[in-house]
Amino acid sequence: MAVSNVTFYERVEEALHDRQLQTALDISTTRFTTGRQNALAALPEAEALRDHARRIRAHTIAHLDRYLAQFADSVERVGGQVHWAETAAEANQIVAELALSRNVKNVVKSKSMVSEELHLNQTLEANGMKVVETDLGEYIAQLAGEKPSHIIAPVIHKTRQDVADLFRRKLQATDADLADVPHMTALARRVLRSEFLQADMGISGANFAVAETGSICLVTNEGNGRLTTTTPRLHVALLGMERLVPTLEDLGVMLQILARSATGQKTSVYTNIITGPRRTTAGQPIEPDGPDELHIVIIDNGRSQILGSELAEILYCIRCGACLNACPVYQQIGGHAYNSVYQGPVGSVVTPGLYGLDPWHELPQASTLCGACREVCPVRINIPRMLLKLRSETAEAGLNPDWLKRGLRLYRQTVVRPGWYHLGGQLTSWLSRKIADNGWFKKLPGPLSGWTDHRDFLAPAKKSFSQRWREEREQ
């Protein structure tokens, strides 16, 4: 994965100063978190369902080899073809060869995070194909040449004016087309509909795959997932290897909590469960429509690395996005600052897990360890535990910046010596009276400025706790 030369902290700075982004984040994260709460509160069995969903995911990951083999057999039994890709390069090659051998020119895609991991669009475009994202948000991001900034709402960082300007530039939209959001949406529908009708290949991801039946499940609200997997004669589904559940009934359990956790909907509009290509007898189709070929590419791309480690629990994730919306850090900095396909708390574990700590060691620091992510996670993943693990690995590998290393060394030397510790306390208290404004720091110097750039910081009390303790006891 490409690592940008702008640092994490520079991207955070930029996000914090982006007024539009700040408003969008406030509205969206509040709406999603309250929606989630209400939807789960209306489901009496919600807590027990979450426990059960966790057990299903844990059991599946622990026997992933067995369930993947069963899934592949099931797919082949219903006439689908299965491909195995260890790396992104292998996956890209498999899809490109499929497309080239079938003379594919036009490709439509419904949202797939795995494909972003692979940079599949670039590969197909380099082979002369036209690739169009069809989820409205992803389409807007593609037109703008940007990356999605949220798992569920890819362009929450854009205003309708931004989108109108973009449509005017890229789609020659008229004033009538841009009158309001419904008109803009109608324009996008027309443009994308003609892409669907002309597409030779549809590429989708999968929210889940069912080992017992060989089905894949895609949930969408727009219906682009259904069109992508119905109009082209060739359907290629990209499946991250961990996305399995053993049975159709288990899928039912997951679906009961997925939309509720993601957007606060009771259900997504379309829950699309695909089992094989369109049915045939004696080589002749017996179903009126659906793709004539279904290829499922099972992708590792670093996941087995995560599996054999302390981070394996993150593979229970069902990509609902709830931990993003609940995270006080994400709420402030949004998705782009993470510079990765996977953002927020889940991304801070997955990204270093997939690509290594070295370029990504800042992400596990982007957390207050408040535990909100674990609280809202439908499968109760202990994200803070893994963030701490990654932080300690960062320290052991000597990846922390020098000021932090020196600061921590000084801190350690101080706190183990009571005399130094008291002296330090008194010094801080004296200093704070000098520079605090009504008990608050408005601006701290040097490396401490990070605490006060975007908010005030409470100054320490005049008397330390131990001082007061002593005084109370003497009374």
Partner 1 sequence: MSQRAAFLNRLRSRLPQAKLPEADPNHPSSFRGYTFAADIPPADLVDRFTQELNALAGQVYSAKTSQEVTKIIRQILNKHGAKQLISWGSDWLEPRQLVATLTAAGIEIVDSELPVIAADRKVKLTALDKIKVGLTGAHGALADTGAIALISGPGRGRLASLLPPVHIAILPQQKLYPSLPAFLAAHHEATTAGSNLVFIAGPSRTGDIEMTLTMGVHGPGELYVILTP
- Summarize as ranges the residues that interact with ligand SF4 (CB under 6 A): 317-323, 346, 376-379, 381
100 near partner 1, rule: CB under 8 A = no
Report the C-alpha gap between 466 and 418 in whole angstroms.
Answer: 11
Stretch that binds partner 1, among 116-124, 184-192, 417-425, 433-441 (CB under 8 A): 184-192
184 near partner 1, rule: CB under 8 A = yes
Cα angle value 99/104/110 (rounded, 5°):
80
Min dist CB 414 to ligand SF4, Å, is: 37
Q: Which is nearer to ligand SF4, 246 or 347 (CB)?
A: 347
287 near partner 1, rule: CB under 8 A = yes
C-alpha torsion sign, points 158, 159, 160, 163: negative
Both tokens of residue 245? 């559940």
154 near partner 1, rule: CB under 8 A = yes
Cα angle value 241/242/247 (rounded, 5°):
105
In 3-state terms, what secondary structure has residue 279? coil
Stretch that binds partner 1, among 2-10, 294-302, 338-346, 447-455 (CB under 8 A): 294-302
Both tokens of residue 450? 């990070």
Report the C-alpha gap between 264 and 376 in whole angstroms.
Answer: 12
Q: Which is nearer to ligand SF4, 202 or 384 (CB)?
A: 384
Q: Which is nearer to ligand SF4, 104 or 383 (CB)?
A: 383
Among ligand SF4, partner 1, none, what does residue 37 contact (CB within 5–8 Å per kind)? none
For partner 1, the binding residue among 271, 429, 464, 467 (CB under 8 A) is 271
Stretch that binds partner 1, among 7-15, 80-88, 360-368, 407-415 (CB under 8 A): 80-88
145 near partner 1, rule: CB under 8 A = no
Write phi, then psi, for 330 (nearest 5 degrees): -60, -40
For partner 1, the binding residue among 2, 5, 19, 44 (CB under 8 A) is 44
> How many CA atoms, within 13 angstroms, populate the side-chain half-sphere of residue 5?
0
Report the C-alpha gap between 458 and 475 in whole angstroms.
Answer: 29
* Alpha carbon separation from 212 to 69, 71, 82, 370 (Å, rounded): 10, 6, 15, 39
160-171 vs 181-198: helix axis angle to the nearest 10?
A: 40
Q: Which is nearer to ligand SF4, 239 or 346 (CB)?
A: 346
Q: Which is nearer to partner 1, 197 or 458 (CB)?
A: 197
Stretch that binds partner 1, among 2-10, 51-59, 390-398, 457-465 (CB under 8 A): 51-59
Write phi, then psi, for 295 (nearest 5 degrees): -120, 130
Among partner 1, ligand SF4, none, what does residue 312 contact (CB within 5–8 Å per kind)? partner 1
Min dist CB 309 to partner 1, Å, is: 7
For partner 1, the binding residue among 147, 233, 391, 422 (CB under 8 A) is 233
Min dist CB 441 to partner 1, Å, is: 36
E strands in 146-266: 201-204, 208-210, 215-220, 234-240, 244-245
56 near partner 1, rule: CB under 8 A = yes
Q: Which is nearer to ligand SF4, 132 or 376 (CB)?
A: 376
72 near partner 1, rule: CB under 8 A = yes
Both tokens of residue 188? 């996008």
Among ligand SF4, partner 1, none, what does residue 36 contact (CB within 5–8 Å per kind)? none
Among partner 1, ligand SF4, none, what does residue 173 contact (CB within 5–8 Å per kind)? none
Burial class of residue 54 (count of CB atoms within 10 Å of its CB; 0-12, 13-18, 19+): middle
Q: Using CB under 8 A as the criterion, what x/- string covers residues 408-447 for binding partner 1?
A: ----------------------------------------
> How many CA atoms, within 13 angstroms, populate the side-chain half-sphere of residue 279?
5
In 3-state terms, what secondary structure has residue 210? strand
| Residue whose token pair is 């994202």 | 133
Q: Which is nearer to partner 1, 59 or 168 (CB)?
A: 59
Q: Where are the alpha helices (DSSP H) in 84-135?
A: 88-101, 113-118, 120-126
50 near partner 1, rule: CB under 8 A = no
